Amino acid sequence: MNLPIPFVNRCLALPATCHARVLPTPVAAPGLIAFNAPLAAELGISAEGANPATLAGIFSGNAVPEGAASVALAYAGHQFGGFSPQLGDGRAILMGDVVDVHGRARDLQWKGTGRTPFSRGGDGRAALGPVLREYLLSEAMHALGVPTTRALAAVTTGEQVLRDSALPGGIVTRVAASHLRIGTFQYFAARRDFTTLQALVKEAIERHYPALVQADNAALALLDAVADKQAALVAKWLGLGFIHGVMNTDNMTLSGETIDYGPCAFMEAFAPDTVFSAIDTQGRYAYAEQPRILQWNLARLAEALLALMAEDPEQAIAPAMAILETVPERVSRYWLAGFRAKLGLTTAEEGDAELVNGLLQAMHAAEADFTLTFRQLAAVAGGQTPEMAGLHPHLAPWIAQWQARLAREPAVMLATAANTFADRTALMLAVNPLFIPRNHRVEECIRAAEDNNDFTAFHRLLEVVTKPWDDSVDILAYARPALPAERVLRTFCGT
Ligand code: AMP
Ligand code: MG
């Protein structure tokens, strides 16, 4: 039996330079780990009657779904500051795109399906650990309200992949608003293929910024729109303690979705210079560096688009620079709006940024858990003392300032809550999650899966992190930070 997927495949209407046709390399013994039925329904995929074996066949690439485009996409990218003119889908196949039930185009990509013309020295495969990590982290981010690629399915391959040691293999099916990356534009700019570049600008605008279809200067308008979307995205990351870990230009989308869950992680004790990725030895992609790196990456997008912005690219430099210069201010604006909400503030005052920074400094000094601190502050807003709420004594002077600021807020009125205290708490609890995919929990899932082929911990954690606000169940063990012996301070790329 097959699984009907209503492919539209607008990817095939792009210039042939954008992709290479390639089929997945079959795997020995596919086994279904997870299938995201609600997401499938959103994509218009009817999985009724599809049993696990059918799904494993499809999502391993052994049975190519009917109507699939099955292409690997070309892209380039700056990796840790150095330009690679040719990267591309070296271990992934874009099976095709559909129009979802909301009328939006969505790409369906199988990752770990074997070699492609872009594989360079790689085997085109993915290890099971990174597959589980991507599934958990991307679905958690979606539940947390962060624009992100999604995970539709994960399978085991029944084969080993050779990394530092032999590891079980896996394949994850990723769903994205598109796979247009900054690096996609860099690939064609480096080749001076302005025809393809123009087609990609048109595609990015039609898919992600339809309001700009009539723009006088499409490339410039696109740069401006992407700058804004990405600024909002990075501000969301900062508000959750999320560290992407590999903000290379090939891992930044034009859609403003988070993509490429490699060594990413959520921090526990707040420290702005936190880095998890084992290969980020210079701290280039540390937590607090992310806005600066965003601006750097957008400058690379601007360079790639320059030739399309004006007859004489020299003429385009000033307007492009003007957009790039707005990036820090845009991130700050989204950041402040996000943190105001996290602190239960519904109005704006001059000193609010200083208030937030004061909290972050106190959290840093106290090594306070980023996620739990805001839940504890919500309890304080509800009338608990800081001690009762579990806050570090070091935060006391700051809490006095915050309470003085709250006293200048108008009363919050929610239909469901009886008093102002509870109302403020409700507002705060709604934007400050209880559950994030804590590193040691993710690691625990990977260990059980790799060592014992046991996916119980994975399914349990997936359930917890996809309901990040739900404190009704007795799963508080998932909310606490790692004990010293459990801490995972290093994460690795998916390769
Ligand atoms: P990533 O680390 O996922 O951002 O990948 C960076 C580049 O390396 C992309 O072009 C990938 O397709 C490629 N790549 C990563 N792992 C493999 C692999 N196992 N085989 C072939 N290409 C790979
Ligand atoms: Mg990548």
By CB atoms closer than 10 A (0-12, 13-18, 19+), residue 131 is buried
Backbone angles phi, psi at 339, to 5 degrees: -75, -30
Taking the CA of 74 as reference, the closest ligand is 1
Domain end call among 122, 151, 176 = 176
- Does the residue 361 lie in any domain? yes
CA of 161, closest atom in ligand 1: 19
Distance (angstroms) between ligand 1 centre and the Cα of 124 equals: 8
CA of 121, closest atom in ligand 1: 21
Asked if 254 and 311 sit in the same domain, the reply is yes
Distance (angstroms) between ligand 1 centre and the Cα of 443 equals: 22
How many folded domains does the chain comprise?
3
- Does the residue 442 lie in any domain? no
Distance (angstroms) between ligand 2 centre and the Cα of 469 equals: 30
CA of 87, closest atom in ligand 1: 10
Q: Which residues pair with 5 in a beta bridge?
A: none
Asked if 74 and 205 sit in the same domain, the reply is no
- 3-class DSSP state of 94: strand
- Does the residue 404 lie in any domain? yes
Asked if 169 and 186 sit in the same domain, the reply is no
Domain encompassing residue 100: 10-176
Residue 252: the pLDDT is: 98
- Does the residue 146 lie in any domain? yes
The answer to whether residues 70 and 85 touch, using CB atoms and an 8 Å cutoff, is no
DSSP 20-48: EE--PPP-SS-EEEEE-HHHHHHTT---T
Check 224, 250, 260, 280 and give the catalytic one: 250
- Residue pointed to by tokens 């806005």: 291
Ligand 1 atom 6: the closest Cα is on which residue? Answer: 87
- Does the residue 479 lie in any domain? no
Return per-residue pLDDT of the chain as tens, 495 residues.
578 999 999 999 999 999 999 999 999 999 999 999 999 999 999 988 899 999 999 999 999 999 999 999 999 999 999 999 999 999 999 999 999 999 999 999 999 999 999 999 999 999 999 999 999 999 999 999 999 999 999 999 999 999 989 999 999 999 999 999 999 999 999 999 999 999 999 999 999 999 999 999 999 999 999 999 999 999 999 999 999 999 999 999 999 999 999 999 999 999 999 999 999 999 999 999 999 999 999 999 999 999 999 999 899 999 999 999 999 999 999 999 999 999 999 999 999 999 999 999 999 999 999 999 999 999 999 999 999 999 999 999 999 999 999 999 988 776 665 677 778 999 999 999 999 999 999 999 999 999 999 999 999 999 999 999 987 665 678 888 998 888 888 887 764
CA geometry: angle 138, 288, 397, nearest 5 deg:
110
Asked if 71 and 151 sit in the same domain, the reply is yes
Asked if 110 and 78 sit in the same domain, the reply is yes
The answer to whether residues 366 and 395 touch, using CB atoms and an 8 Å cutoff, is yes
The answer to whether residues 372 and 479 touch, using CB atoms and an 8 Å cutoff, is yes
Distance (angstroms) between ligand 1 centre and the Cα of 231 equals: 26
Report the relative pairing of strands 71-73 and 126-127 from DSSP bridges: unpaired
- Does the residue 273 lie in any domain? no
DSSP 234-302: HHHHHHHTEE-S---GGGBBSS--B---SS-EE-SB--TT---BTT-TT-TT-GGGHHHHHHHHHHHHH
**Is any ligand 1 atom within 6 A of the Cβ of residue 90?**
yes
Whether residue 250 lies in the annotated active site: yes
d(CA 39, CA 142): 11
- Does the residue 467 lie in any domain? no
- Does the residue 454 lie in any domain? no
